[in-house]
Structure 1
């Protein structure tokens, strides 16, 4: 029975090592993905800014129109 136990211990150690390796790999992959995502986000933000400003101006105009109507 003792010999068998020793063999099993070795196997579990190997498994643990492999798990750690996999975790490290996963972390690296996640980091890479995050880096890619960040670059995409920055590009999107620059594109988005212009239409938002236009919308704000439109909203202000609408508000002014309603005020004029009330005054009349």
Structure 2
């Protein structure tokens, strides 16, 4: 469920009504609000870090390295 919500936010910056209703069956209001807020903060940090060209830490895995199947 969370992955579907994060994917939807990434793809369209929105969660459709059906997915939101499904999520409401599993999570309370505070937990539901955490998902878009966390995604938003992640994007904000990424925008800032990329814009000012923050160097990757030596030896730190990249997201693509740990998610590749």
- Answer whether TM exceeds 0.5 for this pair: no
Which of the five TM-score ranges fits, normalised by the shorter chain? 0.3 to 0.5
More helix per residue = 1
Q: Which has the higher contact order (CA 8 A, sep 6+)?
A: 2
**TM-score normalised per structure 2:** 0.36
For the pair shown, which has the larger CA radius of gyration, 1 or 2?
1
Give the TM-score, by structure 1 length.
Answer: 0.35
